[in-house]
Amino acid sequence: MFDALQENLGAAFKTLRGQGKLSEANMRDGLKLVEKSLLEADVSYEVARAFMKRVSDQALGEKVLQSLRPSEQVIGIVYQELVNLMGPVDHSLHLKGKGEVTVLMMCGLQGSGKTTTCGKLGRLLKQSGRKPLLVAADLQRPAAIDQLHVLGEQLDIPVYSDRTSQDPVKVTGAAVEQAKRLGADVVILDTAGRLHIDNELMDQLKRVDSRCSPDQVYLVVDGMTGQDAVNSAKAFNEALELDGVIMTKLDGDARGGAAISVKEVTGVPLKFMGTGEHLENLEPFHPERMAGRILGQGDMMSLVEKAQQEFDQDEARRLEEQLSKGEFSLDDFLKQMQQIKRLGPLRKVMGMIPGMSQLLGDMDDVDAEGDLRRLQGIIHSMTPAERRKPKLIDHSRRRRIASGAGVEPHAVNELVKQFDAIAPMMTAMAGKGMGDRMKMVKE
Ligand code: GDP
């Protein structure tokens, strides 16, 4: 995915770079190439236009044009706007507490990968300690029922079906009862699919939605179908009020435009992506990682980081203010870590701070980038309240955060422990000059 987009954007930025200061006309030419790259990647026309307007308003502003390296600033702007375009994403499945049944309704056109995704989701839930029940609510296609049974057997997850019934509402009701009997706590409904959106399908799904009141409604779309995927997401969302989109087949040569556009067109976030036919190929969708990947060619990301340094200075001032009020959250912690990574030699000084040294040591590993992303994945899987007060995270939340971030629960523990060690230092240092800070560190 994104190969052509990466290449075209790389070429667009190359024409902007190396020119030092840019005239407004040069900048406009470069931005046109950026827009063209997006359209060629199958980003919808309206989305590309609106996106470019936001980028241009900033890029053509005096602050950028007069800066030393305007082209680098533009890459930073494109990165940030891509992140804003695809996010924010709340990966939580909003599962109820233990002993209660959560119903996840999965919809999608035939062939989108809906049934496979039901299995993949069941697998993730099982891994995170939940007890899922797969339910065949596609009653028109006996083959779909068989397919779900095969998946259930592979995953050792129970499957409920009723081949005698023609009524998905009744089947769903009976399935919830069955879940209670089995002690299952998440019901995954594999609803009917059709080759095309038609009234009968929508009416049936609407009836299941209104009569069974599922807790979450997800749409599975095929990323290979590009704008069709986005259009069908729009139609489904108008009928059903989706809680999230899951885009499949992003492992293939999908151009990626659908993944970039779907949130802007529908207002519904892309929560997960299917990256292969195997049952473990389901990943949370992270806008920052995607934007990083899109711009990840050559040294573009380091330019993004440079462009962000200015932003960091504002951020440092904001942090200082917050710290002096005694507030330090995991979000601040993450930003600090990201900055430290960029500090280079200054890291040695920071390394003298107790707690930090251990973290920095870890980050000297070859995969410092990956470690930081992992930290970020964990922190982003927490609620805002938890980020401010990690003490709120109990056993079951820890497991869910870990599964949201694709890590083991002990990694969440580690992070919270490190945070607990650092937070008092950070707030104590607030408002003190560098000399005082060094004294504190030495003491
Ligand atoms: P349904 O008709 O929507 O239930 O679709 P299926 O679950 O039967 O999937 C249709 C085809 O897409 C099957 O061959 C799946 O193996 C394949 N598939 C599903 N998800 C993915 C994915 O993320 N990547 C790839 N490459 N294939 C997928």
Cα 362 to chain centroid distance, Å, stands at 25
Question: Is 191 a pocket residue for ligand 1 (Cβ < 6 Å)?
Answer: no
Contact between 191 and 138 under an 8 Å Cβ cutoff? The reply is yes
Consult the annotation and say whether 309 binds a ligand. no
- Does the domain at residues 3-86 carry the CATH identifier 1.10.1740.10? no
CA 340 to CA 352: how far, in whole Å?
13
List, edge to edge, every strand of the sheet that includes 102-108. 159-160, 132-137, 186-191, 102-108, 216-222, 244-248, 270-274, 282-284
CA 246 to CA 117: how far, in whole Å?
8
pLDDT at 334 (0 to 100): 80
pLDDT over 50 at 346, yes or no: no
Enumerate the domain spans of the chain.
Answer: 3-86, 102-285, 325-442
Strands 282-284 and 270-274 come out as antiparallel
Across 83-97, 170-184, 319-333, 393-407, which has the greatest mean pLDDT? 170-184
For the chain, give the percent of residues with pLDDT over 90: 47
pLDDT over 80 at 418, yes or no: yes
For the chain, give the percent of residues with pLDDT over 70: 84
Residue 108, both tokens = 């999608």
Domains 3-86 and 102-285 share a fold: no
What superfamily does domain 325-442 belong to in CATH?
Signal recognition particle, SRP54 subunit, M-domain (1.10.260.30)
pLDDT at 330 (0 to 100): 85
Atom of ligand 1 nearest to the CA of 108: 3
Give the tens place of pLDDT for each residue, 188-204.
999 988 888 888 889 99
pLDDT over 60 at 433, yes or no: no
Which of 338-342, 371-375, 381-385 bottoms out in mean pLDDT, i.e. has the lowest? Answer: 338-342
pLDDT over 80 at 62, yes or no: no
Question: Is 251 a pocket residue for ligand 1 (Cβ < 6 Å)?
Answer: yes
Consult the annotation and say whether 190 binds a ligand. yes
pLDDT at 324 (0 to 100): 73
pLDDT over 90 at 105, yes or no: yes
Question: Is 225 a pocket residue for ligand 1 (Cβ < 6 Å)?
Answer: no
Give the tens place of pLDDT for each residue, 253-310.
778 899 999 999 999 999 999 999 999 999 999 898 888 888 865 455 555 655 555 5
pLDDT over 60 at 439, yes or no: no
Global pTM value: 0.70
In this prediction, the answer to ipTM > 0.85 reads yes
pLDDT over 60 at 435, yes or no: no
The residue to which tokens 């003298």 are assigned: 352
Question: Is 158 a pocket residue for ligand 1 (Cβ < 6 Å)?
Answer: no
**Class of the domain covering 102-285:** alpha beta
CA 158 to CA 125: how far, in whole Å?
13
- Ligand 1 centre distance from Cα of residue 112 (Å): 6
Give the tens place of pLDDT for each residue, 2-34.
888 888 888 888 888 766 677 888 889 889 999
The residue to which tokens 């296609």 are assigned: 141
